[in-house]
Structures are given as C-alpha cells and as structure tokens.
C-alpha cells in the first residue's frame, strides 16, 4: 500500500517529468485524476503501467516504431524468449542467461532464441582483434594440418607454434616437434584436434576452479597469443586465416568489420621475411577477393592497436608507423588503441603528450574501464578516454560508476563497445544479468554489441554475444525493438563515411526485410505442421 498521498503524487510527477512516454490516453487520464491514499486498484495499476512504460521508453530502442511485419516477428521472438526465461526460472540448470558461457554454450545452441539471432542481420562488428578472431576449432582442423608446422615449449612453459626453426627467437626449452608426426601418433584425428585446440582456447569445464583470479585467466589468455602468433605470421596461413575471419563474420550476418590489428612481419616457406607494410597489402588483397565473392560484404577498416605495457619511446615509434600507414591508406587505417590487461598496463595519462602528435584524421578507440576497480588508474582511463575525444570506448565496464562521465558519453554520442562474453570469461562478472551493460541499455547510453576475441573461447560471429545482450542484459520484456536499435547502432557508430553509411543502411534494410519474411514463413510452416499433427 502507498504511504499517503505525497508518495503517490511524487511518482506521477516523475512519470511526466522523465518523459512523455505513456500512451496519450494514460497521460490524459493521469493528468485529470486526483489520487489519494484510498486509490482503487484499477487506478493503481494504470499508474503502475504508465511508470513501466516510461522506463521502457527510456531504454535502447524505446523510441522505435515497429511496422506490422516487425510486430508479428516480435510476437514470435517474445514467445521464444519468455518460454526460455520461464524454463530457466523453474530450473536454474537450464537458465543459460545466468550461466558462464562455457557451461551455457550447449544450452544456447539448442535455443530457439539463438537460432532466431543467427538468422538476424547484425550490420557491423566494431570490436574484434585480428589474432583471436577465428574459431579455435577451425584452426585445429585446418591450419594445424599445414605441412611443416612445428611446436616447441619456451622457457615460460608456453607452447609455440611456428613454421620456422628459430630457437633464439622462440626461446625454446625443448626440441621442435613436427605437428604432423604428433598427429599420426594420436589415437584419432578428432582426439588430436581437441588436444591442439586446448592450446588456443580458454575453455574448461570448471572455470571457477581453473581461473581462481582475474590474473590466472589473463595469464593464460595472453599466453595463447604467444602460442598462435608465429603460426599466423606464416604468409600462406595468414591469407586463409583472414579469409576465415571474414567468412565467420559474414556467415553470422555481418556485412562490415572494424578490425583491431597489430602489424607484424610475415614470413614464407623459403624463410623470406616481409616488412610490416606487406601485412597491410595482404589484408587489402584478401578483403578485395572476399568482396568479389560476396558483393554485399562492405569491407574492413583497421584500428592500429599496440600493447599498453610498452615504454613511451616505443609507443612514439609505433605512432610514427601508424602515421605512415594512415598516410598511405587514409580510408582504411583509421584509428588507434592500446590493448592488453588494463589493470597491469600503463594508464592513458602516461602517453598524453604522444597522443597530441597524432593527427585529428586518426580517431581514438580506447579500451578503458575494463576493470572492477573504482578510482584506480585503470578506472580513471575512462576520464582520459573522454577528454581525448575517443570515438568509441572499448568495454567501458566501469563507466556506470561515474555519472558525470556516462552523462557526457550519452550527450556526446560516444558508443560503448559492450563485449558480454569477453567480460565474463576474463573474470569481470560471472552472472551476466549483473553486467553494467544492463544499465547502459536501460538509459539508452549508446551501445554496440561486440565479440572481442571469440576464437579464444569457442564462439563465432556475434550471435552468442547478442544472446546474452537480449537475454541477460536486457529487460525480460525487451524484444525486437531493442535488437533492431542495436543492429542499426552498429552502422551509426561505425567510421563509415556518409556515402558508405547510406550503402550500409540500404544493404542492411534489404537483409532485414528478407529476415522478417523468413521468420514469418517459417512460423507459418511450423503452425501448419503442428495443425496437421493435431488433425
């Protein structure tokens, strides 16, 4: 019961002062009604519904108006979603929305919600790291079978995969072993593939035991980059690897990618080493070939990302390299970022003077606030990212703790690249219903859903992250309006120019309309099949 007239009046005032969100009839009703402590239940529930509608209107997608087809598809999606959430409510062991990805993945892949999301066009992928962008399963089944692949273990106990014997470079503490020979000695091809995949995948049945702290999981995570690095640097391997990265994105209904990359020297079977510039040439060639085969794929732009633990002089050297790349490819190499475990790396403030040397035509896309700490240098990276006019914020996990900043982010239209599974696997949050992305969605803070390093935890594309976004981060009542807004956000907050965005939006709209038709047609077929069985 209400504690007097005053409390109830405050609620009504809040509804109108927040936004004119309730239906017009509800708004008129509330404006003309005097509420007192003897309010009838009917009035109470109308006010209650208006308050819920107000909050819904404030969230991501709240302003979208769905057309008649979208309304019908939304009904289908919400049926899937509510059924699944109710089942999870009854049995926590079936509640994928609350579970760690390693435990939930089999449930997700059987989910009607997930299959719906796999069919849904997703627009652009704006936060993906080159070296961990391909599924470990594909690497195990394909790259591991390339002739000449070797393995050694370095002085830190890390497995190193390579096509060249160079003990000093790899700091091997063991002899090189030929992968093909190991494979032949294995009980089966499948068994060896699983063993090989373990080298480059964080998966474990018991993540809570194997990764007891954030440092445990980050150490293994970063070691896997060392494991796979020289394998991918092999020129023939990199070409097919990059093609597969694009294909896994495209197969998940992604039409454009902004890829975080670090240049490296490629090498070939003859031992020839190619300069960093050749790396960009290879990317351009592969992307061009991919676009020729898949014309509705719009391409790739590159964000140059360097390790945040580097000394300032080395950062300055890398910035000079970035300038050279940007000058040669101004519409392709478009941005700069610092990567690595934020809690252990140098804060942005250490490099302010160097950042001043970067021309305005190169945009910032800073990882910032990827932490649970509050008031540390990692957390304060968010202030520097905003002050440095970052175009988007990578992760922004701690942003919710800073109302001045998240209001500024909203007012300045800076998108937060939310990577739900990454934040969970890398130990920031266990139950994704507690992820701060829920707050960002509730406040309509600009958000784009991203996947970060999907290859290292057995994911592909964006569907898995979208699953958690709509099932865990979003309200139980959020459906196609929020999904559509998130999809279109990916184009709006990309670095595509005006002409490119018009093309992207046109392509996306055609795909979206076909998607709606496909869902409705499938639903009609299912209904007819069900009716036949009943008859």
pLDDT of residue 14: 52
pLDDT category of residue 136 using cuts at 50, 70 and 90: very high
Would 18 be classed as within a structural domain? no
pTM of the model: 0.92
Given pLDDT bands bounded at 50, 70 and 90, which one contains residue 41?
low
Task: Answer yes or no: is 204 within a domain.
Answer: yes
Q: Rounded mean pLDDT of 83-112?
A: 97
In a domain, 173, yes or no: yes
Q: What is the CATH number of the domain that holds 354?
A: 3.20.20.140
Q: Which of 10-14, 22-26, 274-278 has the lowest mean pLDDT?
A: 22-26
Instruction: Identify the domain containing residue 502 by its residue range.
Output: 105-509
Residue 424, SS3 per DSSP? helix
pLDDT for 167 equals 83
Establish if 62 belongs to a structural domain.
no
Closest to 484 measured CA to CA, from 511, 464, 458: 511
Identify whether 430 is part of a domain: yes
Residue 206: strand, helix, or coil: coil
pLDDT in tens, 152-163: 999 999 999 999
Lowest model confidence (mean pLDDT) among 26-35, 76-85, 244-253: 26-35
Residue 2 in this model has a pLDDT that exceeds 80: no
The arithmetic mean of pLDDT across residues 251-273, rounded, is 93
How far is the CA of 310 from the CAs of 359, 369, 384, in angstroms?
21, 19, 18
What is the tens place of the pLDDT at every residue in 178-230? Answer: 999 999 999 899 999 999 999 999 999 999 999 999 999 999 999 999 999 99
- Give tens-digit pLDDT for 69-86: 999 999 999 999 999 999
In a domain, 441, yes or no: yes
d(Cα 199, Cα 225) in Å, to the nearest integer?
10
Q: Are strands 367-368 and 392-395 parallel, antiparallel or unpaired?
A: parallel
Residue 21 has pLDDT above 70, yes or no: no
Question: What is the per-residue pLDDT across 384-424, written as a single tens digit (0 to 9) for each?
Answer: 999 999 999 999 999 999 999 999 999 999 999 999 999 99
| Residue 305 confidence (pLDDT) above 80 | yes
**pLDDT greater than 60 at residue 13:** no
Split into its structural domains, the chain has a count of 1
Neighbours of 384 (CB within 10 A): 20
- The tens digit of pLDDT for each residue in 428-464 reads 999 999 999 999 999 999 999 999 999 999 999 999 9
Dihedral angle computed from the Cα positions of residues 172, 215, 445 and 83, in that order, rounded to the nearest 10 degrees: 100
48 — pLDDT class (breaks 50, 70, 90): confident
Give residue 427's pLDDT: 96
Q: For residues 200 and 141, give the distance between their C-alpha atoms in angstroms, rounded to a whole number.
A: 13
Query: Does 55 fall in a domain?
Result: no
pLDDT tens column, 454-465 = 999 999 999 999
| pLDDT value at 534 more than 80 | no
Instruction: List own/partner pairs for 321-329 with CB under 8 A and 24 or more apart.
Output: 321/263, 321/276, 322/358, 322/362, 323/358, 323/359, 323/362, 325/263, 325/277, 325/280, 326/359, 326/361, 326/362, 328/277, 328/280, 329/280, 329/284, 329/302
d(CA 468, CA 535): 38
Q: Please list the active-site residues.
A: 370, 395
In a domain, 312, yes or no: yes
Residue scoring higher pLDDT (83 or 16): 83
> How does residue 3 score in pLDDT terms, banded at 50, 70 and 90?
very low
């Amino acid at each position: 019961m209400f504690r007097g007239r005053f409390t109830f009046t405050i609620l009504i005032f809040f509804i109108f002062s927040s936004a004119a969100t309730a239906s017009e009839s509800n708004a008129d009703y509330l404006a003309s009604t005097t509420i007192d402590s003897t309010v009838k239940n009917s009035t109470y529930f109308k006010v209650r519904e208006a308050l819920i509608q107000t909050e819904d209107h404030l969230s991501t997608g709240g302003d979208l108006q769905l057309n008649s087809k979208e309304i019908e598809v939304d009904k289908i999606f919400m049926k899937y979603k509510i059924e699944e959430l109710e089942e999870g409510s009854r049995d926590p062991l079936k509640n994928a929305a609350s579970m760690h990805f390693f435990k939930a993945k089999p449930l997700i892949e059987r989910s009607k919600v997930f299959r719906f999301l796999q069919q849904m066009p997703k627009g652009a992928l704006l936060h993906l790291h080159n070296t961990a962008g391909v599924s470990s399963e594909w690497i195990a089944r394909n790259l591991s079978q390339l002739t000449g692949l070797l393995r050694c273990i370095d002085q830190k106990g890390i497995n190193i995969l390579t096509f060249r014997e160079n003990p000093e470079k790899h700091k091997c503490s063991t002899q090189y072993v030929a992968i093909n020979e190991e494979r032949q000695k294995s009980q089966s091809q499948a068994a060896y593939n699983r063993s090989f995949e373990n080298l480059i995948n964080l998966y474990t049945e018991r993540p809570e035991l194997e990764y007891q702290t954030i440092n445990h999981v980050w150490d293994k995570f970063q070691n896997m980059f060392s494991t796979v690095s020289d394998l991918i640097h092999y020129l023939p391997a990199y070409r097919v690897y990059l093609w597969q990265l694009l294909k896994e994105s495209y197969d998940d209904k992604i039409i454009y990618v902004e890829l975080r990359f670090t240049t490296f020297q490629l090498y070939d079977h003859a031992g020839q080493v190619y300069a960093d510039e050749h790396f960009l040439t290879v990317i351009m060639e592969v992307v061009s070939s991919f676009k020729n085969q898949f014309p509705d794929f719009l391409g790739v732009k590159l964000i140059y990302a360097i390790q945040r633990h580097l000394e300032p002089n080395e950062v300055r050297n890398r910035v000079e390299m970035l300038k050279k790349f940007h000058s040669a490819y101004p519409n392709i190499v478009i941005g700069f970022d610092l990567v690595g475990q934020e809690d252990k790396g140098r804060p942005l403030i250490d490099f302010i003077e160097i950042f001043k040397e970067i021309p305005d035509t190169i945009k910032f896309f800073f990882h910032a606030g990827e932490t649970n700490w509050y008031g540390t240098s990692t957390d304060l990276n968010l202030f520097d990212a905003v002050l440095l006019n970052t175009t988007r914020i990578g992760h922004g996990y701690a942003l919710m703790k800073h109302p001045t900043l998240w209001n500024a982010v909203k007012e300045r239209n800076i998108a937060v690249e939310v990577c739900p599974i990454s934040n969970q696997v890398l130990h920031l949050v266990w139950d994704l219903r507690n992820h701060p992305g829920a707050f960002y969605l509730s406040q309509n803070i600009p958000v784009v859903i991203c996947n970060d390093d999907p290859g290292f935890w057995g994911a592909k594309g964006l569907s898995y992250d979208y699953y958690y976004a709509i099932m865990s981060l979003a309200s139980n009542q959020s459906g196609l309006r929020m999904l559509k807004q998130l999809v279109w956000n990916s184009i709006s907050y990309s670095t595509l120019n005006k002409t490119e965005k018009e093309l992207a939006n046109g392509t996306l709209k055609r795909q979206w309309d076909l998607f709606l038709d496909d869902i409705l047609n499938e639903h009609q077929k299912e209904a007819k099949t069900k009716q036949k069985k009943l008859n």
